[in-house]
Structure 1
Amino acid sequence: MKVRIFVGLNAKVSDRISILPQDIIEKILTFMPIRDASRTSILSKKWRHCWKGMPKLVFDESLINVSSDIEEVKTYKLVITISHVLLLHRGPISELCICITDAFIKNEFDLIILHLSWSKNIKKFIFKVYRYGEYYKLPCSFLSLQGLEHLDLRCCEIEVPSMFNGFSMLKSLKFYEVNINATMLQRFLISCPLLEEFTWIGQYVTDFRGENKFTFADLCKCLPSVQVVNISGVYIEYFLAGVMSQKLPTSLVYLRVLVLEVCFHEQDQISSTLCVINSSPNLEKIKLKMVGLYVEQTLTALLDPQDYSGLKLDHLKELEITSFHNYAPEMEFLKLVIAKAHVLEKARIELCTFVSVDKENKMLRDLLNLPFPRASPTARFIIENEAN
């Protein structure tokens, strides 16, 4: 948003910016970086302290301009700036974003979070403080942010005490490379009764390894109101393990969007994925990424569509599969969805780069010559190649 301020020769016209309504001033500042917003203090007396009441604060490397090549110097300068802004800030902070890479100063960030914990007004918190190979361990004071509705944590480590009261207002939780063991994750989730969206993405080994299994059956008990689930990376092997029945003990009646990474050469992951889908009667979108090393000869008998004759996808409108190899279990899954999704509007299949043109043509022929009618004859199919 560009803000243009015209100053004329007439004294009354020149002070036009001072007569702007307070809500307009706040709206203008909302679209400005903190560094630029603080500079508006020189415009007039009315603007002098307005930036200190900004409800949305974003702290990242663009906040400072330091010529030094030493990352520690840049980070220290940034931390000091964050502390200074927070100390001068007046009024509630509804949205806060702190994203710093390459280095961090642990003790200073502990103090910053302690300062923030006194506020009950922060509704959205995005926090990423990362140095390669290190996780920032959140202090206990972080758990005092009781007003949170949206929490996005990246490259952090969390310990949840047994006396944790939970975030009673939390609706959206996103973990990216967050290190937390199964017991503490369960303790964390079960204490957030209003949670509607849960995302956990990561590629590194976590404390889950070696513990008792924490499957999707356990997860759904902690998320009775969840509407969006997105799990990928190393975590998926723990959630999609051991569930071999047709349905989960607890139905995910509110689930609308399911995003998973699935290895279709693992029988338990295939059956677990179908179990989750079969236990979510109101699903509107399914997005799967096929992962793992495939050996086509061993995959012919892992999925029998006859076992899922009772599967219902009455509300599914969109299906997306990426890294599709066109192997037997994947194709059988696709056919199963086509046969069951009566209101399907779009199916997008992104082929793996290893799929040859001949295999792609064969796949198209198979989809055109299905031995059964498609449940949704108007569904639009989009076949793309990963390399394009």
Structure 2
Amino acid sequence: MASQSSKMKVQCLNPDRISSLPQDITGNILTRMPIRDAIRTSILSRKWRSGWKSMTRLVFNDKMVTVPSNRQQLKKYKLASAILDVLLMHTGSILQITIDVVELDVDSEFNQIICYLSRHNHLQKLNFWGSLEKKHCYKLPSSFFSLQGLEFLGLHNCLFRPPIIFDGFSKLSTVHFANVDITSKTLQLFLSKCPLITVLHLICDYSRDFATGNKFTFVELLQCVPLIENLVIKGPYMKHLSAGGMPHKLPTSLVQLKCLSLGMCYDEEYEVSSALCLIRSSPNLEKVVLTGYDKSDTTQISKNFPDIQDYSGFALDHLEFFCMKWFTYEDRQVDFLKLIMAKSPMLKRAQIELYESVSLEEENELVRDLLQLPFPRASLSAKLIFKRPEPEPAS
């Protein structure tokens, strides 16, 4: 009896729990691992041997291969070959893929990868991070524009030039463009051919070719995305889309828009009027983020600004969160703060993130003045929070 009891105890203590995990659990584990580690799990057991080959989400980055620092061309070739090898051995449907090559000036080496993905046409989500070099953009091959299953598209540091016969992505709902080289005319045509877009992020740290070609205004942009729920506009996009100013209110309200984030210069009349128009025309906003930036040396400060303190026409009955970044306590920044807090009865938090040049002494004075300002507040329970910029980590 003792020996049988010991045998049962050993069996209980040493079950093959890894092999007995349900397939959905193993799949979830694999998708959370770097692709190299996911492939290495094939040695765990017979069940895991081919598990990675059916992963629906793949993530590749330029740290997958290591070469001497002076052999970047070799690294680019080895990385492209490694990614292609994984794709060729993969047996299931690839629904999501991320390719992060910010340290490499990728060129035609990656065209074959995009071509392979387009032939299988199951891809729903694509994130491509190209080189961070300002002078180098990865030109998307023509095969990219045949990825008709795409629902999510994130492009970073890429050259976007669709072929003439491109009819858009009929299923696309989310677009993230960061430092994408695209003309205003091309962007307008692209958005007009993607009728289901609900999330649009246009971010640029430096000027590309957006100003070339036909002018493209905020009014025309919003006509291209009638279902928009989440809109982010920053950098030169804001400047060029605001050119000529905006009407007091849009002809058609943006009833679907819930989240709005704008990077703007408070000394630019047209950018201020555009921000006011967008907020005034979006009655169901739940979140607003305004990021200020300094005017360029060539900017002419206009004296014909719209009255930010004019509260007429504003109905922010659903706004819960408001954030102002790079806050320096300029009059127009304070006016925006007063406007939002006066017209947002459901506001829970107003967050002020100070610009890095604001000293501790200036911060104390700023906080004291804002807390004592006699302006109407629709929500008596709204918290006013001040944050300083986080220090950069030591190298």
Same fold flag (TM > 0.5): yes
| Total equivalences in the alignment | 378
Q: Equivalent of 2:351, from 348, 351, 376?
A: 348
Tell me if the contact between 2:185 and 2:214 (Cα under 8 Å) persists in the aligned partners.
no
Cα shift readout 1:223-264 (whole Å, capped 9, x = no counterpart): 111111111112210122223321123321111111111111
In structure 1, the residue matched to 2:136 is 134
Q: Take 1:286 and 1:320, find their aligned partners in 2: how far apart are those partners?
A: 6
The amino acid that maps onto 1:203 is D
In structure 2, the residue matched to 1:245 is 247
Q: Take 2:246 and 2:263, find their aligned partners in 1: how far apart are those partners?
A: 18
Stretches of structure 1 that go unaligned for 5 or more consecutive residues are 1-7
Q: Take 2:119 and 2:349, find their aligned partners in 1: how far apart are those partners?
A: 48
How far off its partner does 1:106 sit? 2.2
In structure 1, the residue matched to 2:288 is 286
How far off its partner does 1:358 sit? 6.2
In structure 2, the residue matched to 1:3 is none
Identify if the C-alpha distance between structure 1 residues 105 and 312 changes in structure 2 by more than 3 Å, giving closer, same or farther: closer
Query: Does 1:120 find its partner at 2:121?
Result: yes
Tell me if the contact between 1:148 and 1:167 (Cα under 8 Å) persists in the aligned partners.
yes
Identify if the C-alpha distance between structure 1 residues 118 and 184 changes in structure 2 by more than 3 Å, giving closer, same or farther: same
Tell me if the contact between 1:215 and 1:241 (Cα under 8 Å) persists in the aligned partners.
yes
Q: CA RMSD in A?
A: 2.7
How far off its partner does 1:131 sit? 6.0
Cα shift readout 1:21-45 (whole Å, capped 9, x = no counterpart): 4334323322322212222333344
Judge which range, 264-273 or 48-57, deviates more. Answer: 48-57
Cα shift readout 1:244-298 (whole Å, capped 9, x = no counterpart): 3211233211111111111111111111110011111101111011112499xx6
Q: Take 2:378 and 2:346, find their aligned partners in 1: how far apart are those partners?
A: 8
Cα shift readout 1:171-226 (whole Å, capped 9, x = no counterpart): 21101110111111111111221111111111222212243331211111111111
Secondary structure of 1:322's counterpart equals strand
Judge which range, 57-66 or 232-241, deviates more. Answer: 57-66
How far off its partner does 1:15 sit? 6.2
How far off its partner does 1:83 sit? 1.0
Secondary structure of 1:377's counterpart equals coil
Tell me if the contact between 2:125 and 2:153 (Cα under 8 Å) persists in the aligned partners.
yes
Tell me if the contact between 2:122 and 2:149 (Cα under 8 Å) persists in the aligned partners.
yes
Stretches of structure 2 that go unaligned for 5 or more consecutive residues are 1-8
Q: Take 1:55 and 1:64, find their aligned partners in 2: how far apart are those partners?
A: 22
How far off its partner does 1:301 sit? 6.8
Query: Does 1:188 find its partner at 2:190?
Result: yes
How far off its partner does 1:118 sit? 1.2
Query: Does 1:320 find its partner at 2:290?
Result: no
Q: Take 1:79 and 1:335, find their aligned partners in 2: how far apart are those partners?
A: 53
Secondary structure of 1:213's counterpart equals coil
In structure 1, the residue matched to 2:56 is 55
Q: Take 2:308 and 2:113, find their aligned partners in 1: how far apart are those partners?
A: 55
Secondary structure of 2:120's counterpart equals coil
Q: Take 2:206 and 2:322, find their aligned partners in 1: how far apart are those partners?
A: 28
Identify if the C-alpha distance between structure 1 residues 164 and 357 changes in structure 2 by more than 3 Å, giving closer, same or farther: same
In structure 2, the residue matched to 1:5 is none
Secondary structure of 1:113's counterpart equals helix
Query: Does 1:214 find its partner at 2:227?
Result: no
In structure 1, the residue matched to 2:3 is none
Q: Take 1:252 and 1:156, find their aligned partners in 2: how far apart are those partners?
A: 30
Q: Take 2:179 and 2:185, find their aligned partners in 1: how far apart are those partners?
A: 17
TM-score by length of 2: 0.87
Q: Percent identity?
A: 45
